[in-house]
Amino acid sequence: MINRGRVMSATYTRELSRIKATQKAYEYRHYGRPVKFLEFEDWFNWTINKIRSRGAKVEIFCKVVFITWPGQDMTAFTLVDFEQEYKIYRNGRRATT
């Protein structure tokens, strides 16, 4: 003899899990996944590494970042410039990946 209460409970739980997964998929599809923003220092290091990986030479000296692209003149940015870009990133206007 099968315990019907236990079988129904497992079936019901499985159905609730399926519904929840469907709802989550809909949420991600229409509204995107939740975003975990980086702290400024991590974001800054990530940005510098990304610039270096694209072939630029980066030097940091006294809160000034010098970026030299191959065949171009050196460009200087202050940390204030990077902090303003970070604020734009935190507001969600620009993605990092």
Angle value at C-alpha 70, between 69 and 74, nearest 5 degrees: 45
The pairing of beta strand 64-68 with beta strand 57-61: antiparallel
| Residue 7 confidence (pLDDT) | 62
| Residue 97 confidence (pLDDT) | 46
pLDDT, greater one: 11 or 86: 86
Please tell me the pTM assigned to this model.
0.60
Q: pLDDT tens for residues 30-70?
A: 888 877 888 999 999 999 999 999 999 999 999 999 999 99
* Helix H or strand E segment including 87: helix 79-90
